[in-house]
Structure 1
């Protein structure tokens, strides 16, 4: 019988990769909105943002909180949690202007930094 387990380090790496994909999504959506308004509507759908935020919250909560128990440092979790908060807050800004995009990108960057700090604290 095979014992299947995913390490928290793998969750941190997955979280960092997901953060990178989110940044690509934000930039692609902005470019598509600027050039092809009808095609940009699909990527700018609120459902995509809500599902993405939910996935980020689940992975971030698991990996960052588990890191506190593993290495004892709270800073990675604090940085990542602040990033998640910025991402959640950005969903309430709507698509008026670029403030939601900037807030989301900063939040994603902070979440990725939190995952990286978590990974470094384990070493």
Structure 2
């Protein structure tokens, strides 16, 4: 039983980390918007471009590792294609000026990437 759980965790951990990162990103985007509305000075750090660039780098690393690994495990291309689209939308959002549109596109990209991770998990079952 323990060995089976360890094998399951080894196969699923990258998608789990990717989904967790996507959730943290959504919380970050929502919290930043709320904090900026309430406390302009406190929201400055979370609204920093550096936070977005580091978050995108982590999303790309987790996305590539999890989705490519899933492709080799289950052989379905759809999760990798959906996840890649999400990473592309998030990357495109970094080219927009800071503000409403950038936050909106980032959240859409995160949701698409999370869908790719979810499809990857479902295909691995």
Q: Tell me, yes or no, whether TM beats 0.5.
A: yes
Alignment of 1:38-117 (within 5 A): 38-96=41-99, 98-117=100-119
SS of the counterpart of 1:66? helix
SS of the counterpart of 1:51? helix
Structure 1: any 5+ residue segments left out of the alignment?
none
Q: Per-residue CA shift, 1:21-43, capped at 9, x if unaligned? A: 10000000001111111111110
1:13 CA displacement:
0.8
1:84 CA displacement:
0.6
Structure 2: any 5+ residue segments left out of the alignment?
1-6
Q: 2: distance between equivalents of 1:37 and 1:29?
A: 10
Q: Per-residue CA shift, 1:79-106, capped at 9, x if unaligned? A: 111001111111111214x111110001
Q: 1: distance between equivalents of 2:50 and 2:81?
A: 27
Aligned residues: 119
TM-score normalised by L of structure 2: 0.90
1:12 is the counterpart of 2:10: no
1:7 CA displacement:
2.2
Q: 2: distance between equivalents of 1:21 and 1:8?
A: 22
1:66 CA displacement:
1.1
Q: 2: distance between equivalents of 1:111 and 1:70?
A: 19
